[in-house]
Amino acid sequence: MNARLIRFAGLSLLLLALPAMAKEPPKKAEPIAQEGIQVPKPPFTEGIFPCTGCHDGKSMKVNTTRRALVDMHGDIELKHGPESRWCLDCHDANSRDNLHLASGEKVDFTASYKLCGQCHGDKFRDWREGIHGKRTGSWNGQKQYLLCVNCHNPHSPRFAALKPMPPPARPEAIQTRTGGAR
């Protein structure tokens, strides 16, 4: 549908504008273009972005050897796809503040869904339509999107288990209140 195309165009426009407002909380992001679909910033660990803060290409040489990381990022456990996959398959070795697609095309962190969409095409399509993932806002107007990485840790993408909220009271436990208001 045309409306979907327009919406998608709006989304792309917005994503281009995102880095500028990366520090604002997601819900306050300004509506952009006609459809105004908004994507919040990716959930970076505090103080880690931009990556070029460390990976500036000068103090540290790029090491393209596949290896277990020991000095830094030891907390990252990669549980995403084949064993052979590693950091630089997605992170761009030469431009650390970017990711890259299989084609080598660089992608902003704010457009990481393109990277995810390379393999997860069906999810990507559903996400664009608002079916995969969460949408909030207005069913007949502005909607807020979340990026894939807002719900799935890209290094370990399985949706994290949650503590359930309390179960309902059993019928036997529903009793006349003693005391209290009315």
Residues lying near other proteins in the complex (CB under 8 A): 1, 3-4, 126, 129-141, 146, 151, 159, 161-172, 174-177, 180-182
Q: Least separation, in Å, of the C-beta of 140 and other proteins?
A: 5
Q: Least separation, in Å, of the C-beta of 55 and other proteins?
A: 33
In the complex with other proteins, which residue's Cβ is closer, 28 or 170? 170
In the complex with other proteins, which residue's Cβ is closer, 28 or 58? 28
Q: Least separation, in Å, of the C-beta of 38 and other proteins?
A: 15
Alpha-carbon distance of 176 to 182, in angstroms, equals 11
Cα–Cα distances in angstroms (integers) from residue 49 to residues 55, 95, 115, 154, 164, in the given order:
11, 13, 19, 16, 33
In the complex with other proteins, which residue's Cβ is closer, 46 or 172? 172
Alpha-carbon distance of 35 to 17, in angstroms, equals 15
Q: Least separation, in Å, of the C-beta of 150 and other proteins?
A: 10
- Answer for the pair 87, 166: CB distance below 8 angstroms, yes or no: no
The residue to which tokens 């179960």 are assigned: 167
Element (H, E) at 118: helix 112-119
- Answer for the pair 78, 156: CB distance below 8 angstroms, yes or no: yes
In the complex with other proteins, which residue's Cβ is closer, 23 or 28? 28
